[in-house]
């Protein structure tokens, strides 16, 4: 039973990161008023660049000693135009069709740059979780950035959600007319059985590359090659 509980909580952590698209000092309302932004291409080491050019998805685990959760990144190429990639990643209403473990999505408010989205997750063993996310969009000539944070949903008890989750997509033009996508996510699954939190958090990172893979498939690209962790 303890192993089963840990397994479910690990999947819960995975689900929290699998639908992500980090909180920032300024609210998204201000961001929406800043106009076009300078969106830099994600920084790669020489080895990482070689790997992504081969179609691999590079994983990174970032040090985060002051927080309870873990921070991961995945980097990979999207063979698409900026408009095509933006259309897929901001298609929140259809996340249940291609994002892992998403059962239902309700968009409760939206504007050109900000959307408030309620996501319902279906997990094994009859488990369900839900949370409310606020997505904000920054656009530039060379790319775009989509940030998201978990916001208050008073009607949902802690036992039916995750403690914290936030993250961002950063997508910019890259070599050969393709796009380079960086998917960054922080997740804290909350309370788990004693001694099992580290296991839950470590297992959660295995679904992070799947998010880039799902977007690639949605764009009609071939199945990518996954890669092991790479230095941040």
State CA 142 to chain mean position distance. 21
Please report, for the chain, the start and end positions of each structural domain, with discontinuous segments joined by +: 2-230
- The residues with which 171 forms a beta bridge, in sequence order, are 144, 181
- How many angstroms separate the CA atoms of 226 and 139, rounded? 28
Report pLDDT digits (tens) over 20-57. Answer: 443 333 333 333 334 557 888 899 999 999 999 999 99
pLDDT tens string, the chain, 232 residues long: the values are: 443 444 344 344 444 444 444 333 333 333 333 455 788 889 999 999 999 999 999 999 888 777 777 889 999 999 999 999 999 999 999 999 988 788 999 999 999 899 999 999 886 566 788 999 999 999 999 999 999 999 999 999 988 888 888 999 999 999 888 999 999 998 777 765 554 455 445 556 678 899 999 999 999 854 445 555 544 4
> DSSP strand E in the chain: where?
56-62, 70-78, 102-110, 114-122, 128-139, 143-151, 164-173, 179-188, 225-230
- How many angstroms separate the CA atoms of 53 and 142, rounded? 19
- How many angstroms separate the CA atoms of 162 and 141, rounded? 35
Q: Considering the entire predicted model, what is its pTM?
A: 0.77
In degrees rounded to 5, what are phi and psi of residue 15?
A: -65, -35
Per the rule left: phi > 0, alpha: psi between -120 and 50, beta: everything else, 141 is alpha
The CATH number assigned to the domain with range 2-230 reads 3.30.530.20
- How many angstroms separate the CA atoms of 224 and 79, rounded? 11
Q: Helix 197-204 vs helix 2-18: angle between axes, to the nearest 10 degrees? A: 40
């Amino acid at each position: 039973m303890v192993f089963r509980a840990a397994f479910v909580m690990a999947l819960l952590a995975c689900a929290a990161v699998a639908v992500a698209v980090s909180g920032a000092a300024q609210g998204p309302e201000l961001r929406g008023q800043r106009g076009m932004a300078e969106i830099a291409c994600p920084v790669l080491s020489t080895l990482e660049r070689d790997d992504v050019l081969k179609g691999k998805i590079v994983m990174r685990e970032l040090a985060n000693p002051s927080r309870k959760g873990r921070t991961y990144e995945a980097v990979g190429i999207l063979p698409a135009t900026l408009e095509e990639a933006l259309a897929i990643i901001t298609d929140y209403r259809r996340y249940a069709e291609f994002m892992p473990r998403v059962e239902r999505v309700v968009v409760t408010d939206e504007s050109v740059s900000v959307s408030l989205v309620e996501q319902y997750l279906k997990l094994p063993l009859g488990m369900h979780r839900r949370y409310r996310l606020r997505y904000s969009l920054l656009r530039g000539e060379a790319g775009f950035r989509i940030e998201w944070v978990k916001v208050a949903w008073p009607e949902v008890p802690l036992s039916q959600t995750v403690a914290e989750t936030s993250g961002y997509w950063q997508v910019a033009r890259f070599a050969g007319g393709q796009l380079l996508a960086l998917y960054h996510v922080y997740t804290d699954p909350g309370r788990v059985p004693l001694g099992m939190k580290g296991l839950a958090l470590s297992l959660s990172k295995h679904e992070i590359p799947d998010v880039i893979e799902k977007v690639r498939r949605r764009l009609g690209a071939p199945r990518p090659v996954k890669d092991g962790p790479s230095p941040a």
